[in-house]
Amino acid sequence: MSLIEPGSGPGSGPGSGAATPDAAPVLRLVGIRKSFEGTEVLRGIDLTVHRHEIVALIGASGSGKSTLLRTANLLEQIDDGQIFLGDDDISDPRAKADRIRSRIGVVFQHFNLFPHLSVLDNVTLASRAVHRASRVEAERRGLELLDSIGLADKAREFPDRLSGGQQQRAAIVRSIATDPELLLLDEITSALDPELVGEVLDLVRELGRGGTTILMATHEMAFARDVAHRVVFLDKGVVAEAGPPAQLFEHSENPRTREFLARFTA
C-alpha cells in the first residue's frame, strides 16, 4: 500500500502506549461547551490530539461524540471554549472556516459519498474545487489512492454500485486525498453489515501505521483497544476518563467507565 506518506516518520506503533509527550499537538480542545435548545450537550471538554496519535472517543449514544467531532471541524458553532488546530485558534470567528475544514478530513457514519459523482470524482472533488489542482493531477493521485485500497477498477462507477464497506473505504481515501493534518472519524462502521466492518477498520489501522493523526468516535471496543494510543470516555458531555487503552479497558477505577464497558462484554 502506498498510503504512507514519505516523511511522516515511524510514529509510535499501536500498543506502544501513549503518544510521546513532546509530540506537537495537532488538535487542542479547551473547555468546549455546546448546547442545543437549552440542553448542554458538551459541558467543558478538554482534549488534545498529538501528531501521529490515534485517539478513540467512546461513550454511550447521545453522550456528545458526534457533536464534539462536528465542533472540531467547525460544522457546529461552540458556545464557549477554544479550538486550536496546530497553532491556530480556529474558534476565532475571523478564521477562514472553509480553509480550516480543508485541513481536516472527516468521515461520517453514512451518506458520505456524493451519489451523482463517480467514485473517482468523489475522491478528487476537494483537490479540484478547493486546492485548484488540475484534473489530470487530481485524477492521478485519486487513482493511486483508489488503487491502494483495491478499488481502482471501481473508479468510474457510481457509489451505489459499491458495497457499504467499499463506499466507506472510498470515503476514507477521499478524506485524505488532500493530505489533511487530522482525520475525524465518526462511527464509520456503525451502519455496515458486520462482515464489512473488518475491511474498513483495516484501512484505518493502515493509516495509523502510516502516521495519520486520527480522532475517532467508535463503538468497536476491541478495535479501540488494539489500535488507539489513547481512549477518551465521554459521559453526559464531560470527559469522564482518558488514558491508554490498557488502563481504561482493564484497570479503570471509574465506576461509570466500568459500567459502560460492562455493556460491551456482557
Partner 1 sequence: MSTTGIDARPPSSIELDRRAFRRQQTTRSTLIAIVSTVVFAVAAWIFVINTPGWSRVQQTFLNWDVAVAAFPRVIEGFWLNVRVLIYSVIGVGIVSLVLATVRTLRGPIWFPLRALAAGYTDLFRGIPLIIVLYLVGYGIPGLGVFPRMPAEFWGTIALVTVYSAYVSEVFRAGIEAVHPSQRLAARSLGLSYSQSMRRVILPQAVRKVTPALMNDFVALQKDVGLISVLGAVDAVRAAQIETAAYFNFTPYVVAGLLFFLLALPMIRFTDWYTARVRRREQMGSIV
Ligand X SMILES: Nc1ncnc2c1ncn2[C@@H]1O[C@H](COP(=O)(O)OP(=O)(O)O)[C@@H](O)[C@H]1O
Q: 147 is written with which cell numbers?
A: 488503487
Strands 230-235 and 54-58: parallel
Stretch that binds ligand X, among 34-42, 47-55, 206-214, 241-249 (CB under 6 A): 34-42
Q: Which does 67 bind (CB under 5 to 8 A by kind): Mg ion, partner 1, ligand X, none?
A: ligand X
Residue 24: count of CB within 10 angstroms of its CB: 10
Contact 43, 68 (CB under 8 A): no
- Give least dist CB 242 to partner 1, A: 25
Q: 237 with 41: CB under 8 angstroms?
A: yes
Task: Return d(Cα 244, Cα 54) in angstroms, integer.
Answer: 11
Contacts of 94 (CB under 8 A, 6+ apart): none
**Partners of 36 in the β-ladder:** 39
Separation of alpha carbons 262 and 266, rounded Å: 6
| CA-based nearest residue to 27, from 69, 61, 80, 60 | 69
| Of the residues 66, 73, 91, 212, which one makes contact with Mg ion according to CB under 5 A | 66
Interaction partner, residue 63 (ligand X, Mg ion, partner 1, none; CB < 5-8 Å by kind): ligand X
Which residue, among 186, 243, 208, has the nearest Cα to 51 in the 3D structure? 208
Which C-beta is closer to ligand X: that of 57 or that of 104? Answer: 57
User: Taking CB under 6 A as the rule, which mask of x and - marks residues 67-86 in contact with ligand X?
Assistant: x-------------------
Query: Which one of residues 47, 56, 66, 83 is an interface residue with ligand X (CB under 6 A)?
Result: 66
Q: Does 71 bind Mg ion (CB under 5 A)?
A: no
In this structure, the number of other CB atoms found within 10 A of the CB of residue 175 comes to: 22
84 touches partner 1 by CB under 8 A: no
**65 counts as binding ligand X under rule CB under 6 A:** yes
Does residue number 104 form part of the binding site for partner 1 (CB under 8 A)? yes
| 125 in contact with partner 1 (CB under 8 A) | yes
Q: Give, as ranges, the residues between 142 and 181 that touch partner 1 (CB under 8 A).
A: 158, 160, 174-175, 178
Q: What is the distance between the alpha carbons of residues 179 and 52, in angstroms, rounded to a whole number? A: 13
Q: How far is the CB of 58 from ligand X (least distance, A)?
A: 9
What residues line the site for ligand X (CB under 6 A)? 36-37, 41, 59, 61-67
Chain contacts with Mg ion (rule: CB under 5 A): 66
* Residues in contact with partner 1 by the rule CB under 8 A: 70, 73, 75, 98-99, 101-106, 108, 110-116, 125-126, 129-130, 158, 160, 174-175, 178
